[in-house]
Structure 1
Amino acid sequence: MTKTVTVSETTSPTQQSAPTILSISRRPLAGLPILLLAMLTICQLALVTPLHAADSVFTSTTAIKEEAVRFAGEGKLFLKGPVDPYLTGTVVTAGLFGLTYLFDEKIRDEFAGSHHGVMRGITDAGNAVGNPLLHLGVAAAFYGAGAVTDQTKVMQLGEEMGEALLLADGATFLLKGVIGRGRPYQVDSSSSYRPFQFKDGYDSLPSMHTASSFALAHVVADKTDNFYGKAACYAAAGLAGFSRVYQTKHWASDVVLGAAIGELAGAAVTRYRNAPAGSVTLAPMSIEGAPALALLGKF
C-alpha cells in the first residue's frame, strides 16, 4: 500500500538544447521495421483482450501526478546510485573507462576504413536497434496498448521502459553538451574537447545509443526469469555499443560510460518499483498548480 503526504516546497525547471550531429550518413528509417514488428505484436495482444481502458497519463490527472512523484523518486535513486549502493561498481567503471580511454585512438584506428560485408550488416543492425527514438517508441507502444486493453503488466512494462529511457537519455544528452568531446570521425585526438559549446561533432561522450540500450535491457531483463532471456537483452545492448565503436561514431570509452549510465538508470527504476515495505522517499510534485513536496512510501 502506498501513502502520500505533502508539504509545501518550491521548484524551478530549466531547459537546455543541443544540435544534432549529422556528419556521417544516417539511416533514420533503419529501425522502422523493428518498431512496426513490436507494434504488430502488441496489437495482436490487444485483439485477444476485451477493450477496457485503464487509468493512464492520457486519461487521468491522478495518474500524471503519481507518475511525476514516482519519476522524481527514481531520479533521486539514479543520482545517488554511483555512491549508494553502487560505489564498488563506480570504482570498477572508472578504472575500465580510464583503461579504454588510453587505447581509444588505437581502437579507432583498428576499425577505421571501409566497412563492408557481414560485419557491416551486423553493425548496421546494431545501430538500428540501439536508436533511442526507437526505444521510446517501443515503450510508448507497450504503455498505450496496456492502457487500452487494461493489461496492467503490459502498461507497467512500458512505463518502466519509458522512465529508464528518460533518465538515461536525459543524463547523456546533458553530459554530451557539457563535456563536448570530439567524435572519432571529427578529430584526430581522443582528448579534443569543446565543453559547453554544443558544437557539431563534439557530442561524443557518453554514447546515448549505448545508454538507452542498456537502460532498456535492464528493465526487460528484470522481468525475465530465464537466464538466456536476460543474456539476450544484454547481448543486444552490447551489440549496439560495439556498433558505435566499429563504425567510428564513438570512442570505446564513450560506450563504457554510456553503458554504465544506462545500467544505473534501469536499476534506479527497478529498485524503486521493488522497494520493500517501510521504505520512503521525498519527491517534488504539484497540487492544483501549487508546488509541493511528496513523501511517498510503502507501509
Structure 2
Amino acid sequence: MTKTVPVSVRTSPAQQSAAPVTPTTIRRPRAGLPVLLLVLLGICQLVLVAPLHAAENVFTSTNAIKEEAVRFAGEGKLFLKGPVDPYLTGTVVTAGVFGLTYLFDEKIRDEFAGSHHGVMRGITDAGNAVSNPLLHLGVAAAFYGAGAVTDRTSIMQLGEEMGEALLLADGATFVLKGVIGRGRPYQVDSSTSYRPLQFKDGYDSLPSMHTASSFALAHVVADKTESFYGKAACYAAATLAGFSRVYQNKHWASDVVLGAAIGELAGAAVTRYRNASAGSVTVAPMSIEGAPALALLGRF
C-alpha cells in the first residue's frame, strides 16, 4: 500500500523561491507471507539446535533417514501405480472432467476477466497466499520439528506424512510443468498454446502446483480427523486454493483439475502406505553399503 505523507521542510527565503516543497512518498513494506515463512524457518532452526528427546528422527539418527528413504520409495511406487491400481475408475472420471474443462478454459478465463475488487478479491488473495507450496513445506517441517522436540510421536508423524505427500505432489507437478510447457492465461491468448520441454517462464501452467500441494495436504490432514466437518473444511480450503488460481488468472481451469487429482493421489499414496494392513508387502529399490538391493516394504 502506498501512503502519501506531507513533509514540512524549513528553508531560507531564497530556497523557497527556488524550489517548492513537494510531498514525500513513503512506501510501507508489505507484511504477510514472507514474515510467516521467516517464523517457520525460525522454528525449524530451533529444532536443529534444541535437545531432541524423541526416540529417533531424521535430525539425530541415520537409521531414521534410511527408514524414511525406504518408506518414501514405497509411497512413490504406490503413487505411480495409483492411476491404474486401484484408482482406474477415478482416473477415467478425472480424464473426462479434465477434457470437458479443457474445452471451456477460455470461456472460464473470460468470465473472470476484468478488474477484481471487494470481498472476492480479498478471499482469493488469501487463497493464493495460503496455497503456496513453500509455505506448506514449512508447515510440515514445523510439525515434524515440534513433535521431535516435545517427544510427541503423533505430531512428528503428521509432519512426516505432510512432507512426504507434498514432495510427491510438488515433484510430479514440477516435472510435468516443464515437460508440457503450457502457456499461462495471462501469457497467451489461446489455451492451446504450448512450448514443451523449453522450461520458459510463463509456460509452466499445467498442472497447478499450488492446487496439487493444497490437496495433498488436505488429504493427509483429513485422514487424521474423524469429523465430517473437519474433513470438509480441509477440502474446502484446498478447493478455494484452486479457485483462487483461476479467478486471479494464474491458471486455466483444467490446470487446477489436474493439479487437484495429482495432490489427492499423492496424499492417498502416503496414507495407504501408512495404513497398510498386516501382511501387505511391496518391493522397492534401496542401497546397502553402496550395493544395489531390494527392500520388502509393508506391515507384518
The two structures share one fold, judged by TM-score above 0.5:
yes
Identity among equivalent positions (%) equals: 88
Paired with 2:64 and 2:279, the residues of 1 have a C-alpha distance of: 23
Aligned AA for 2:245? R
Residue 162 of structure 1 aligns with which residue? Answer: 163
Cα offset, 1:233, TM superposition:
0.3
8 Å contact from structure 2 (residues 41, 138) kept in 1: no
Paired with 1:63 and 1:289, the residues of 2 have a C-alpha distance of: 18
Residues 168-211 of structure 1: CA distance to partner in whole angstroms, max 9, x if unpaired? 00000000000000000000000000000001100000000000
Residue 246 of structure 2 aligns with which residue? Answer: 245
The equivalences for 1:135-154 within 5 A come to 135-154=136-155
Residue 117 of structure 1 aligns with which residue? Answer: 118
Paired with 1:216 and 1:174, the residues of 2 have a C-alpha distance of: 19
Paired with 1:55 and 1:79, the residues of 2 have a C-alpha distance of: 29
Paired with 2:194 and 2:52, the residues of 1 have a C-alpha distance of: 53
Paired with 2:79 and 2:52, the residues of 1 have a C-alpha distance of: 36
Cα offset, 1:292, TM superposition:
2.1
Structure 1 residues 59 and 40: alpha-carbon distance in aligned structure 2, compared to 1, 3 A threshold: closer
TM-score, normalised via structure 1 length: 0.85
Cα offset, 1:291, TM superposition:
2.8
Paired with 1:82 and 1:160, the residues of 2 have a C-alpha distance of: 20
TM-score, normalised via structure 2 length: 0.84
Residue 231 of structure 2 aligns with which residue? Answer: 230
Cα offset, 1:283, TM superposition:
1.2
Cα offset, 1:114, TM superposition:
1.1
Residue 286 of structure 2 aligns with which residue? Answer: 285
Paired with 2:30 and 2:77, the residues of 1 have a C-alpha distance of: 33
Residue 3 of structure 1 aligns with which residue? Answer: none
Residue 270 of structure 2 aligns with which residue? Answer: 269
Any unmatched runs of 5+ in structure 1?
1-26
Residues 94-113 of structure 1: CA distance to partner in whole angstroms, max 9, x if unpaired? 00000110000001011112
Cα offset, 1:41, TM superposition:
11
Residue 65 of structure 1 aligns with which residue? Answer: 66
Any unmatched runs of 5+ in structure 2?
1-28
Counterpart secondary structure, 2:287: strand
Paired with 1:60 and 1:147, the residues of 2 have a C-alpha distance of: 12
Residues 270-296 of structure 1: CA distance to partner in whole angstroms, max 9, x if unpaired? 000000001111112222233322112
8 Å contact from structure 2 (residues 53, 151) kept in 1: yes
**Is 1:76–2:98 an aligned residue pair?**
no
Of the structure 1 ranges 286-295 and 81-90, higher mean CA displacement relative to structure 2 is found in: 286-295
Structure 1 residues 246 and 215: alpha-carbon distance in aligned structure 2, compared to 1, 3 A threshold: same
Residue 131 of structure 1 aligns with which residue? Answer: 132
With CA pairs under 8 Å and 6+ residues apart, which has the higher RCO, 1 or 2? 1
Cα offset, 1:132, TM superposition:
0.2
Residue 295 of structure 1 aligns with which residue? Answer: 296
Cα offset, 1:298, TM superposition:
1.7
Residue 55 of structure 1 aligns with which residue? Answer: 56
8 Å contact from structure 2 (residues 52, 148) kept in 1: no
Structure 1 residues 28 and 107: alpha-carbon distance in aligned structure 2, compared to 1, 3 A threshold: farther
Residue 8 of structure 1 aligns with which residue? Answer: none
Residues 215-259 of structure 1: CA distance to partner in whole angstroms, max 9, x if unpaired? 000000000100110000000000000000000000000000000
Residue 174 of structure 2 aligns with which residue? Answer: 173
Cα offset, 1:58, TM superposition:
1.1
Paired with 1:89 and 1:160, the residues of 2 have a C-alpha distance of: 23
Paired with 1:298 and 1:65, the residues of 2 have a C-alpha distance of: 17
Counterpart secondary structure, 2:204: coil
Counterpart secondary structure, 1:286: strand
Residues 61-103 of structure 1: CA distance to partner in whole angstroms, max 9, x if unpaired? 1101110110000000000000111011001100000011000
**Is 1:106–2:96 an aligned residue pair?**
no
Residue 25 of structure 2 aligns with which residue? Answer: none
Paired with 2:265 and 2:189, the residues of 1 have a C-alpha distance of: 31
Residue 10 of structure 1 aligns with which residue? Answer: none
Structure 1 residues 29 and 88: alpha-carbon distance in aligned structure 2, compared to 1, 3 A threshold: farther
Cα offset, 1:35, TM superposition:
5.7
Aligned AA for 1:250? H
Structure 1 residues 89 and 140: alpha-carbon distance in aligned structure 2, compared to 1, 3 A threshold: same
Paired with 2:263 and 2:30, the residues of 1 have a C-alpha distance of: 22
8 Å contact from structure 1 (residues 39, 138) kept in 2: no
Residue 195 of structure 2 aligns with which residue? Answer: 194
Paired with 2:225 and 2:43, the residues of 1 have a C-alpha distance of: 18
Paired with 1:271 and 1:40, the residues of 2 have a C-alpha distance of: 32
